[in-house]
Structure 1
Amino acid sequence: MKTVLITGGSGLLGQRVIPLLLAQGVCVRALSRRPGLNTPRLTWIQGDLRDPLAVPQALAGADTLLHLATQPLQPGADLALAQPLLQALPASGIQHAVYMSIAHLERMQSMPYYREKLDIERRFEACGVPLTLQRSTQFHEFVVQVLQRLTLGHLTLIPTGVTLQPVEARAVAHHLAQLTVGEPAGRVRDLAGPDSMPLEHLARQWQLQQGRRPTLLRLPLPIPLFRAWQHQAAVGTAAQAVGRAWSSWLADAAPEDTQLQARGA
């Protein structure tokens, strides 16, 4: 029976992947600073990836690694999380590493977080363990979080020149679960949502879903994230379109996914 060590199991994507892996008969070990409840074939391990002693212990007994842990708001954090794993992998029993990354990284190097992600991709490719690398565009949920941070009362600030093709996290989770139980595949086709549209249109639909009259102010906001997004290439036919479109997802999303509240990204 396959045993998967998953990092970031308590995060947005991890919470969606774990039940899918369990449904396929996989044993899951989830390393997290905020462990959940153990269930049949699911063992939570409380620990920090930055602890070089904790990582080999977490890897022990697993044959597959699914690395999802990420902290986009803390510069340098993703590399600090990945490096102990990368150092421990060659001597571990891991036969397949799966890494979740972001589409268009090469065009978004003006932001340190995206530079880190690309660096980590290359380190995984060079570590000697067979790899599957999955990239996707921004999650619907992350776009909501960005819009929340840009909203003051009923006014939403819109950085000019940003077009996104966001994707449903649950759809990405389904693909990751299949890749994790499969054979190493190298870099696979990027995932994206079915629709590409300016951030202004995404914000307008989000405000309508909130029951408010759309009130938007377009500004050239000099923030690294938005500068990076302005340099994204059009996804076009290179990516595989999966999941629900933005408007459909908004209509069906749980209130906690779309209401204004102070949540981390």
Structure 2
Amino acid sequence: MDAVLVTGGSGQLGRRVIGELLEQGRAVQAISRRPGPQAAGLTWVTGDLNSAATLQRGLDGVSRVVHLATQPLRPGKDLQMTSALLGAVQDRHIEHFVYMSISGLERMQGAPYYREKLEIERRLRTSGLRLTIQRSTQFHKFVADLLGKLTLGPVTLVPTGVTLQPVEVSAVARCLAQVVQGAPAGQRRDLSGPAPEAIELLARQWHRHRARTGRVASAPIPLPLFRAWQHSAAVPEEAEPVGRPWIRWLQETA
């Protein structure tokens, strides 16, 4: 059985996708700048996706690809990495190429990262690959980390007018592991958590979970990310709810 290539294999989503594929008996090759834990059936290819040698090693013996690698703090890097990967797979028999993307991109083009992700989707659709694009909302841990960064002393300051529908990363990983082993579907229904919530409520629940005595305040915060999230832009209109809701994830996660 040919292997599945996972890019971004050491990230929080990549690690879980690899685990799901290994449990299902698939051989996995993972490209990452830093190798993760060793496991039977798993081969780490250490390097950068812009390296032809790295891509050649990673694609050797591979028939399916899950492209998860992303560097949101380096503008243009995602497009550069994906272009290199597309060039490397063109002369290979890839039965299924799965790309992980983000819900609501068309409505959030005020943020450079989201513009880049939408352009990647466009290029993938015209690449001729047997393709599935899977979008999801923001992961629980991303939202929790963001709230931590928005906290100074006892106060968490969140942007006004923002609603999110965060999703459990493990549930997304289970879906991706199933999707890549199936037939290409073009673009699948988005994945999301069970319900949309105002970021103020998410922050208050986060405070209670951490037993904080501070408070949550809201104000317009003029950052591209928060402007992009206005008017429920990050909430998909019709999504498949998966995984634990935010409050249960908080309660059950150390």
| Residues 2 and 61, structure 2, Cα contact 8 Å, conserved in 1 | no
Q: Deviations 1:180-205 (Å, cap 9, x if unpaired)?
A: 11111110110110021110000000
Partner of 1:159: 159
Letter aligned with residue 79 of structure 1: L
- Call closer, same or farther: CA 1:6–1:111 in 2, change over 3 Å: same
Partner of 1:181: 181
Q: How many pairs were matched up?
A: 254
SS at match of 1:106: helix
1:208 aligns with 2:208: yes
Between the aligned residues of both structures, percent identity stands at 56
Q: Distance in 1 between matches of 2:207 and 2:110?
A: 29
1:169 aligns with 2:195: no
Greater displacement, 17-26 / 47-56? 47-56
Partner of 1:258: none
Letter aligned with residue 39 of structure 2: T
Letter aligned with residue 179 of structure 1: V
- Call closer, same or farther: CA 1:236–1:187 in 2, change over 3 Å: closer
1:53 offset after TM fit, Å?
Answer: 3.2
1:236 offset after TM fit, Å?
Answer: 6.4
Q: Distance in 2 between matches of 1:230 and 1:169?
A: 23
SS at match of 1:94: coil
Greater displacement, 120-129 / 227-236? 227-236
1:52 offset after TM fit, Å?
Answer: 3.0
Q: Deviations 1:7-62 (Å, cap 9, x if unpaired)?
A: 01100101111111011111000011101243221001111012233213311210
Task: List gaps (5 residues or longer) in structure 2.
Answer: none
| 1:27-176 alignment runs, 5 A limit | 27-176=27-176
- Call closer, same or farther: CA 1:68–1:234 in 2, change over 3 Å: closer
Partner of 2:191: 191
Moved over 6 A (4+): none
1:114 offset after TM fit, Å?
Answer: 0.3
Letter aligned with residue 80 of structure 1: Q
Q: Distance in 1 between matches of 2:40 and 2:114?
A: 37
Partner of 2:248: 248
1:77 offset after TM fit, Å?
Answer: 1.6
Q: Deviations 1:225-256 (Å, cap 9, x if unpaired)?
A: 000111444746610111111100000013xx
CA RMSD, Structure 1 to Structure 2 (Å):
1.4
| Residues 167 and 244, structure 2, Cα contact 8 Å, conserved in 1 | yes
Q: Deviations 1:46-102 (Å, cap 9, x if unpaired)?
A: 110122332133112100010001111221121122110011111123221000000
1:214 offset after TM fit, Å?
Answer: 4.3
Q: Distance in 1 between matches of 2:50 and 2:59?
A: 14
1:128 offset after TM fit, Å?
Answer: 1.3
| Residues 56 and 92, structure 1, Cα contact 8 Å, conserved in 2 | no
Q: Distance in 2 between matches of 1:37 and 1:161?
A: 41
Greater displacement, 51-60 / 156-165? 51-60
Letter aligned with residue 105 of structure 1: L
Q: Distance in 2 between matches of 1:142 and 1:219?
A: 20
Q: Distance in 2 between matches of 1:122 and 1:212?
A: 44
Q: Distance in 2 between matches of 1:150 and 1:234?
A: 19
| 1:215-226 alignment runs, 5 A limit | 215-226=215-226
- Call closer, same or farther: CA 1:159–1:34 in 2, change over 3 Å: same
| Residues 163 and 199, structure 2, Cα contact 8 Å, conserved in 1 | yes
Q: Distance in 1 between matches of 2:234 and 2:63?
A: 37
Q: Distance in 2 between matches of 1:62 and 1:145?
A: 35
Q: Deviations 1:143-192 (Å, cap 9, x if unpaired)?
A: 01111111111211111100001111011111101001111111011011
Greater displacement, 155-164 / 223-232? 223-232
| Residues 9 and 32, structure 1, Cα contact 8 Å, conserved in 2 | yes
